[in-house]
Structure 1
Amino acid sequence: RMKHKIMQAMVEREEPRKLSGFVQIDDAYLGGERTGGKRGRGSENKQPFVIAVQVDQNNEHPTFAVIEPVKAFDNASLKDWIERRLEPECEVYSDGLACFRRLEEAGHAHTTLDTGGGRAATEVQGARWLNV
């Protein structure tokens, strides 16, 4: 019971936080294996999340993180998330998922990174804290 109260207090404390400066952003999905249906992006069996990490100006040390579910990785959901979670004029790095183009429309500098796959993705400057 006390654990739940502490967790709720943490959620309420972090709810108004907006990330600023240098931000790394990625899409993620939560959900176990199920038989049938589509796998990966767009699966009806998984909950989509936006994961964003604010880092120092050298992209070396994380300062804050936001992990938040979204309805879908579509333009409307991302536009809403950007307005609620990012301060104006952030410098954002992503893997180039199409819906992340909303970042530029919202006035943020947006750099897409080719992270490839596997272990090498953790070494890409600007994506280190998301591709673990």
Structure 2
Amino acid sequence: MDAKGENSLALFPAKFRESMWIRRGSFVVIDHTGKEKAQESGSKVTSIVCKVLFFEQVRLLQKSPEWPEIFKDTRPIPAEKSSPIEQHEDDGEVDSSDDDDGMPPLQANTNRLRPFGVKCDAETDSGSDSDS
């Protein structure tokens, strides 16, 4: 859905397909060039996804005046739940918990198998050093 409330079908390029997932409620930036030409030719795909917005980007945009009114009542999906892309850690900055926007805390995924625990190599190395 665009800022005018119109629904359209967009092509999700392979460069995004290989590295991330999007799902209902995710925000993306699309390119509408050629929309009219595609509609005239009878194609249902009228635009192309240019950029996938991450949770932090959506939150910053929501606070800016450029965010469309039609999207004001929607909440972005946290990055931990929406994409498997590695997360960048802040440089030890502690944010206030007021920015949670009333979201519940994350819970562990019980459907995923955890890899078996690997013993620390330091214990085995120190044992072999004392034997020599």
How does the TM-score come out when normalised to structure 1?
Answer: 0.21
How does the TM-score come out when normalised to structure 2?
Answer: 0.21
Which has the larger share of strand? Answer: 1
